[in-house]
Chain A
Amino acid sequence: MLDFTVNAAGPYAAWLLAALGADVIKVESHSRPDPVRGSEDRPYIHSNFFEDTNTGKRTVALDLKTAAGREAGLELAVRCDAVMSSFRPGVMDRLGLSSATIIERRPAAVVASFSATGSAGPHAGLPGFAGIFNALGGLGALTGYVDGPPTELRTSIDMRAGAMFSAMIVAALREARLTGVGRAIDFAATEAVALLSGEFLTASLLGSEDFEQRVGNRDEMWAPQGTYATRDGRWVALAVRTDDEWDRLVTVFGDGTRDTATFGTAAQRRQAADAVDEIVGGWADRFDAEDFAERLSAVGTAATVVRTADEIAGDPQLSARGFFTTTPGMRGNADVAVGSAPWTTNGQRPTFSPGRPLGADTATVLTEVLGIPPAEAIQRAAELDEGVALARSGS
């Protein structure tokens, strides 16, 4: 895979492909590195999460502002099964790396571009990040307190869209291998977000209109579903899916003074949602969060303490399954807890080589992929991105 993507979504998609065993070659330049590599002179990039999505890849430095850089980019592209990019529409064309150019030279190539709204149409070319797709795709406006504004969802939206991007690429690669025919994938992250709300979008398309009001944490079917404050000042999220579940909860937590028959069905509990929240809130208030979540779980109700960022890497279930590993920080900082890929295959976790300094693999890739002899490749690597030489002389 030749990967021209930057920031979060595209690199995450490529990282998932690396988890599947793909040889991912990430292309940047010293004048235009992936912004999430971060640097001391860019303090505004406050989440330098490069290690999160760029392990397991090789890194090549090509200055695409130069003819030689673009030519090398094309030569690499036509020797790869897939080419990924996340530039605004038209940029790959201007770089001489259009899907048509690549597929003409390699008919089975999959050329996948990721953008906010797609490459053609009345809204093509809108520059966008996760916050924009979240707004345009509709999930943001569906999510929120009943009387509150829409909700900003952030990096996770990039990752959600990136995961869908990788699914499309894997499907197209399989098709290309089997048929000999590749394809261009003109992926629109706005549509990926719209799929996350596909239930409601389908309702709208098929003529229902009674769901646009924001509902907080409530569900249209399960009741109660919500997040409740516990005695220790924390929060527990829970969802009651069946009437049997509710009966068990009433048996365990109820104080016997409530007419539980009133709330015996989900429809009754939805109808009286405020009263039911008050009852469950009263239960929550009697326990510390961990205790309450465990008691709920013990009687079959889905429940969890709302975890904070410092608690995730130590999660016992994740630890038991070997989900987190530590990797050396790219900027000389301490080891970083990085999650693996969220699946196992025959019990095995995907493994990743550590993230690499920009351009560290340029010469090797020129040799392996383009057949340039090693000594010459080192020289070419320096020519293809002047920053390589500058970085070397400065170090």
Chain B
Amino acid sequence: MNPAPPALRVVEFGSGVGVPFAGKMFVNFGADVVKAERGDGDWTRSKPPLIDHDGERVGALFHFLNAGKRSILLDDDNSDSAIAALWSWADIVLVDEEFHADERISGRFTAAGPKVVTAVTPYGLTGPEAKRPGTASTAFARCGEGSITPAGIGYRQFPEAPPLGARGKVADIDAGVIAVVATLAAVGSTDDSIDRLDPPVQIDVSVLETQVSHNRWLPSNFSRTGWIETRASTPYPVGGMLPCQDGHAMFLPATDRHWQAFVEIVGRPDWALADNLVTREGRVAAGEDLRERIMEWAADVPKAALLEAGLAEGVPLGPYRSMTEVAACPQLNQRGFFVQYGEAGSGMKVPGLPAPGFAGQVAMAPGLGRDDIASLRAPARAPTTSTTPRTHEEHAR
């Protein structure tokens, strides 16, 4: 077994969500992540919902994305030298469209390495629309997913309402994830693999392409069958979203066994025992009649009981949960999904990664310009404010 590898050095020239989400994953993987900010700082610092802490009001989004990072302010006096210093320090440079518009940053893309330079922009760095403004919401709408959202009950209740986007900045987070995948692969996995990345590897991630990729079945299905999925399509021929006693639940019986177990859950009423429902084809054919029966049953059942039944019988059945319910979920808490935020005893937690065994603690998101360039050469702040011990080891170059 070899000693722990040196922490990857990551610089974020990016505000908002895409680049900072990539940086958040790097923090959770043990990297040393430095966030460059300009002016009043990342706009997510002031995006509601706001959190009052230590006499400051800072956006929950900023806390979520920037825990465990350092912050360097690029002001008028220092920015040229700071950009140069950050660039030369980094193994990985992440750049969004706003910072890319600064030629002092985009002009360095081909400068001597060794490093990986990854851009995360709305449409990619090339093509006729490279400079077009874009947001997570417009990517969601343009990729096709907007045209099928909502379907099912949501559409039937509001057929005249505009198509919906996912709440929050989902498309930007998706692009951040893809940036991590492509960047980590390019960094390589030998002791000297980064040193060999000269000239630098350039990765170009498009938020739009990420959304189209994640919705790839829409164009491929169209090209295969001519079928245009819409909001009026039936998303789930059997089951789907069910209003229940205290909210909504999802029921997705994919197999005959799921159906048989569900019949037991509903107490074997005559309608559920009908011969035509024994096969999937029969259940699909039963269509709206069956849906009505299932909805009638669910109307009186609370969410917690539905989840319990799904777990007990091995049926894909679960509640739509609020954030408060997600935060309190015993499963997520037991798995350690929420990691300690700030110093031991702070009593605060933030979401970590979707598998146990990575960073169990992250430092508080930094104040604007809390760190200076000189700190890049210094090892370590105190371990209690760190992500993992590995984060503090200096690069042994």
Contact = CB atoms under 8 A, between A and B. Distances in A.
Interface string B42-82: 01001111110100000111011100000000000000000
B133 A300 contact: yes
Nearest to B142: A304
A152 B151 CA distance: 7
Interface residues of A, number: 156
A52 B330 contact: no
A220 B280 CA distance: 43
Contacts of B315: 127
- In this complex, which of A149, A178, A347 has the most chain B Cβ atoms within 10 angstroms of its Cβ? A149
Given A138-B326, A151-B149, A343 B206 contact: yes
A337 B220 contact: yes
Contacts of A153: 149, 166
A334 B224 contact: yes
B167 A143 contact: yes
Contacts of A125: 311, 314
A175 B124 CA distance: 29
Provide the main secondary structure of the chain B interface.
Answer: mixed
B144 A308 contact: yes
A210 interface: yes
Nearest to B236: A131
Contact of B335 (A52, A188, A221, A321): A188
Contacts of A64: none
B137 A178 contact: no
Interface string B203-244: 111101111111111111111100111100001110011010
Interface stretch (A236-244, A360-368, A372-380): A236-244
Interface stretch (B32-40, B352-360, B374-382): B352-360
- In this complex, which of A148, A226, A228, A344 has the most chain B Cβ atoms within 10 angstroms of its Cβ? A344
Contacts of A139: 166-168, 170
Contact of B223 (A167, A179, A336): A336
Contacts of B29: 171
A174 B324 contact: no
Contacts of B151: 152, 154
Contact of B191 (A170, A178, A211, A346): A178
B185 A149 contact: no
B132 A297 contact: yes
A343 B178 contact: yes
A179 B2 contact: yes
B190 A302 contact: no
B138 A238 contact: yes
Interface in A122-172: 122-129, 131-132, 134-145, 148-156, 159-161, 163-168, 170-171
B291 interface: no
Nearest to A164: B177
A78 B188 CA distance: 22
A109 interface: no
Contact of A198 (B162, B210, B351): B351
Contacts of B127: 316-317, 320-321
A49 B181 contact: no
Contacts of B142: 237, 304-307, 315
B214 A122 contact: no
Given A163-B177, A180-B1, A302-B122, A43 B354 contact: no
Contacts of A340: 213
Contact of B334 (A122, A306, A344): A122
A51 B221 CA distance: 10
A127 B314 contact: yes
A168 B29 CA distance: 9
Given A129-B252, A305-B142, A187 B354 contact: yes
A324 B47 CA distance: 36
Interface string A189-204: 1111011111111111
Contact of A215 (B167, B280, B319): B167
A338 interface: yes
Contacts of A256: none
Given A150-B248, A308-B147, A339-B212, A167 B154 contact: no
A262 interface: no
Nearest to B223: A337
A253 B139 CA distance: 24
A52 to B, nearest CB: 5
A183 interface: yes
A189 B318 CA distance: 14
Contacts of A336: 220, 223-224
B60 A202 contact: yes
A206 interface: yes
A98 interface: no
A282 interface: no
Contacts of B220: 49, 51-52, 336-339
Given A123-B311, A180-B1, A205-B348, A191 B337 contact: yes
Given A199-B169, A336-B224, A132 B250 contact: yes
A154 B237 CA distance: 13
A313 B166 CA distance: 22
B319 A121 contact: no
B294 to A, nearest CB: 14
B4 interface: yes
A148 to B, nearest CB: 6
A323 interface: yes
Contacts of A173: 189
A219 B168 CA distance: 7
A236 to B, nearest CB: 8
Contact of B214 (A44, A160, A309, A337): A160
Contacts of B135: 222, 225, 239, 241, 302
Interface string B286-316: 0000000000000000000001001100111
A131 B341 CA distance: 30
Contact of B170 (A46, A196, A215, A337): A196
Nearest to A42: B280
Contact of A145 (B123, B161, B180): B161
Given A47-B221, A200-B168, A209 B214 contact: no
A200 B323 contact: yes
A161 B177 CA distance: 10
A136 B145 contact: no
A381 B129 CA distance: 50
A229 B162 contact: yes
Contacts of A226: 162
A198 B170 CA distance: 10
3 closest A-B pairs by beta carbon, nearest first, are: A237-B141, A203-B60, A177-B189
Given A143-B165, A320-B128, 8 more contacts: A20-B182, A167-B180, A184-B357, A199-B65, A207-B51, A323-B209, A334-B224, A338-B220
23 contacts: A47-B217, A52-B216, A122-B331, A126-B311, A128-B252, A131-B250, A132-B252, A135-B320, A152-B150, A160-B170, A161-B354, A167-B177, A170-B185, A179-B5, A187-B355, A200-B323, A217-B162, A237-B140, A239-B135, A302-B135, A309-B144, A320-B127, A321-B126
